[in-house]
Amino acid sequence: MRGAHVIIAARNIKAANEAKQAILKNNDNAKIDVLELDLSSLNSVNAFVHTFKALNLPLNILINNAGVMFCPYQLSQDGIEMQFATNHLGHFHLTNLLLDKMKETTARTGIEGRIVNLSSIAHRYTYEQGIVFDKIKDKDSYSEKKAYGQSKLANILHANELSRRLQEEGVNITVNSVHPGLIMTDLMRHSFLRMRIFKLFTYIFWKTVPQGAATSCYAALHPDLKGVSGKYFQDCNEYAASNFATDYELAKKLWDYSQNLVNSLQRS
């Protein structure tokens, strides 16, 4: 509706094209492209970025929106616990690879760039240490819910540390994280029955998909947030995140850990 050229980067191309057609049905003039991207695979991230850059398009807004939730223990193609790999590491790598394009766009146009990480209120329910760096792929200590919370905590820490680095560099790009709310989507597929029962007793708090998208759009587009960076939003308002999420040392440690992990996986 704002006239943006939208790239839908998706693992499931069929579902992405269905979303594209649904948008075009309501807006004939919408500019939408679908590109394949599986965030659980660093090779897929590399291939997507290569394809996107070949389009020679500007990049003003990046919304890191992919996710898996409460899945049984499994490893990604790169041998990383799946929730951490998909929800955090893939976004971390993707964002780093696209930063030069965002910097180039904002320098050339003078328009503020914005990066939005979709986190969750579940970032409060994580392992005792916040991020279990030494047991990221340990099967014995794995908890599907705490591993999800850990990955959502990582989304906020990533946004905060990137925000700090860009501000230090003097780059006109903001980075924020959001909790979209409780939404019944395919994200719930690994705990569908439990979530249905949970929804029965908490229905008043659940949102439709458009309502769930509102805070992401707010963080990505609203003029009132010009220059606002390193914040956490819920229901289109700034909210206080957990103590772990505002721990600058933990954010730096996660950044270094993630960068070293990506580097080691790219070499192997």
Q: Report the b/e string of 4-20 with b at 16+ CB within 10 A.
A: eebbbbbeeeeebeebb
Percent of the chain with pLDDT over 90: 84
Rounded mean pLDDT of 219-227?
Answer: 97
Rg (CA), the chain: 18
Structure confidence at residue 178 as a pLDDT band (50, 70, 90)? very high
Identify the pLDDT of residue 195.
Answer: 52
Identify the pLDDT of residue 182.
Answer: 59
Identify the pLDDT of residue 169.
Answer: 98
Supply the residues annotated as catalytic. 142
Does residue 201 register a pLDDT over 90?
Answer: no
Question: How many C-beta atoms lie closer than 10 Å to residue 79's C-beta?
Answer: 10
Give me the chain's average pLDDT, please. Answer: 91
Identify the pLDDT of residue 185.
Answer: 52
Rounded mean pLDDT of 45-54?
Answer: 98
Does residue 207 register a pLDDT over 60?
Answer: no
Identify the pLDDT of residue 197.
Answer: 52
For residues 117 and 133, what is the distance between their CA atoms, to the nearest angstrom? Answer: 21
| Of 139, 172, 135, 161, the residue nearest 245 (C-alpha) | 161
What CATH code is assigned to 57-267? 3.40.50.720
